[in-house]
Chains A and B, each alone.
Chain A
Amino acid sequence: MAKKVALLQGNEACALGALYAGCKFFGGYPITPSTEVAEVMSVELPKVGGKFIQMEDEIAAMASVIGASLTGAKVLTATSGPGVSLKQELIGYACIAEVPCVIINVMRGGPSTGMPTGPGQSDVQQAKWGTHGDHAAIALVPASCQEIFSETVRAFNLAEKYRMPVQVLFDEIVGHSRERIEFPEPGDLEVIDRQGPTVPPEEYKPFDTSFGDVPPLAAFGTGYRFHVTGLNKAQDGFPTTKASLVDDEQRRQIRKVDAAQADIEKNEEYLTEDAEIVIFAYGSTSRSARYAVNELRKEGIKAGLFRPITLWPFPEKRVAALAKQAKAIIVPEMNLGQMVLEVERVAKGACEIGFLGRVDGEPINPGQIIDKVKEVK
């Protein structure tokens, strides 16, 4: 049987991906350019017995999804830059309390209200550092409608598997472009549910590391009574200020992601085997970059594309290897220099790094990338 296909906006594909992953709760607050995610969820969730709630602001939206997640539901919220800024305190809460949730950020220009309908890629460092305290981060950056669908599913899987918030960032161009999408049948994509407790309620501890760095999470209302707090806590979930316990907890929560880098990391490479110039690009910019690579190759310039799909944790090993192989890495992005910092950090001076930034609300076009490559060549 032929696959079901449709012409969809990235934002719509995101909502459908969430439903495919088994999302049963959406708490949100409208903000352009992310609103279609909420709109589709408001229509589709009740059809599957799920719940949609439009909260009074983004802080409340984030709070509601954390609360809902603790009842065992897979949860989603979607917003844009200013909304993520508001959610930051509670993103930290979800990190420390280890509550699975997926946060969509359809990136627009900024800071502040910036350009509501203009694309941007300037929240990429916010996705890593955007809360207080030390914490791990997982962020995915799909570049097409089809990939928004599948990466949203993967974001739920990672959130459930590693018991933490996962952000999916796409720029407004990808979020609002209409593209053909082929719907996976149930079973085509892996769908992971969080690990529940295997011990009886009397023995359950919500942060019991004898089960590994990702302790099983019970659900409220299932006979497992436990305490959840944003304070540093011992394995039983109750607050502690004991230095060794706090230290253990902080390090474990970062280690659980570091140790799983291979499972979380996902990149795409195009003509990088022999590339002398590697273009590091993500989101809609990577599509201009791919076009640029083809054009450059026609002119005999050995260009290649490295496209991170997992942005955080950063693909350090592979980028370091490419830096050793290539003469230069060019980083075009719709900001004034964010991921280029990360590329520079891991390249450790092994090759030249070129940067091309654009923040005028226009996409980076292939011609600009070609010119930049020729500049460093």
Chain B
Amino acid sequence: MAFDYDKYLRPGKLPHIWCPGCGHGIAMKGLIRAIDICGLDKNNTAIVSGIGCASRLPGYVDFNTLHTAHGRAAAFATGVKMAKPEMNVICVGGDGDGTAIGGNHFIHACRRNIDMTYVIFNNSIYGMTGGQFSPCTPTGAKASTTVYGNPDPTFDISKLAIGAGATFVARTTAFHATQIDKLIAEGIKHKGMAVIEVLDDCPTTYGRRNKFRSVVDMMKRLKDIAVPVAAASKMTAEQLEGKVLTGVLYKEEKPEYCEQYAQVIAKAQGA
């Protein structure tokens, strides 16, 4: 039987704002399936975003939803989680939102290892504001503010998350739609900070400028660059040039922030 997305969508809120061919819709469907896999209670789940095209997601889904300011999702979400640790907290947002303006909050949420799941929709560009480059835009690529080619080096979000202390880090792409739900579900089940990077596409502001003739071309690129971690271990550095690893990239059990704070409370109360 076909999956029933309606159960999780808010009645009357579609159509969404996303352009035809935008990868954000694929990522949203993956997130919904992941929530279903985990059997999360809608009343006990908060979805928090920043600002950007990706960050419009919370408006469409039927949970406790919080659309914050540009870059601040992780910081708002930290407040929600700390105040009510029994809630499932999921952050969503774009690469610009999460790693440029929100970079500081992102790394510190990772460092605390607070129990939330952060899904970054990495389309390598600022979609909503019309295609300026983001920290994830490939060097040399065209954006509305890098018409001569992007001179900036690029963030590897997953490596950044691992370096900052996240205890579950995974990556997939909008092409690998059936992997999105599995990885997000694993992230949700993980106790601690889980980061799932979903490489997706912005045909409107990135594809056009960078000579992708169609959405299919962009999807094809996602398919071509992805290499599952297991396969990568058998490949040479040369073969891995220009590829990105997908699957679970890192997993570790470590004390979680809210649990650590529960011990502070116990100590303060004389336990």
Contact = CB atoms under 8 A, between A and B. Distances in A.
Interface of A: 24-25, 27, 43, 46-47, 49, 51, 53, 55-57, 59-61, 63-73, 75, 89-90, 93, 220-223, 225-231, 238-239
Contacts of A25: 79, 82-83
Contact of B67 (A67, A75, A222, A229): A229
Nearest to B82: A51
**A interface majority secondary structure:** mixed
A42 B34 CA distance: 37
Contacts of A47: 268-269
A289 to B, nearest CB: 40
Contact of A43 (B65, B76, B268): B268
Interface stretch (B38-46, B125-133, B203-211): B38-46
A205 to B, nearest CB: 13
Contacts of A61: 75
Interface string B88-111: 000000000000000011001000
B99 to A, nearest CB: 15
Contacts of A24: 83
Interface in B57-101: 58-59, 62-69, 72, 75-84, 86-87
B147 interface: no
Contacts of A64: 75-76, 78-79, 82
B234 interface: no
Given A55-B75, A220-B87, A226 B64 contact: yes
B108 A55 contact: yes
Nearest to B42: A225
28 contacts: A25-B79, A25-B82, A43-B268, A46-B267, A56-B108, A59-B75, A60-B105, A64-B82, A65-B79, A66-B76, A67-B48, A67-B79, A67-B80, A68-B83, A71-B80, A73-B83, A220-B66, A220-B80, A221-B46, A221-B84, A222-B43, A223-B43, A225-B63, A225-B65, A228-B65, A229-B67, A230-B67, A238-B59
Nearest to B65: A227
Nearest to B84: A71
A299 to B, nearest CB: 55
Given A63-B68, A70-B80, A230-B67, A239 B46 contact: no
Interface string B148-186: 000000000000000000000000000000000000000
A68 B42 CA distance: 18
Interface residues of B, number: 40
A27 B84 CA distance: 14
A68 B63 contact: no
A67 B69 CA distance: 12
A133 to B, nearest CB: 13
Contacts of A67: 48, 66, 75-81, 83
Given A60-B75, A65-B79, A67-B76, A228 B67 contact: yes
B67 A227 contact: yes
B216 interface: no
Given A63-B72, A230-B67, 14 more contacts: A24-B83, A43-B268, A46-B268, A59-B75, A67-B75, A67-B80, A69-B79, A70-B64, A72-B83, A89-B69, A90-B69, A223-B43, A225-B63, A226-B64
Contacts of B69: 63, 89-90, 93, 230
B212 interface: no
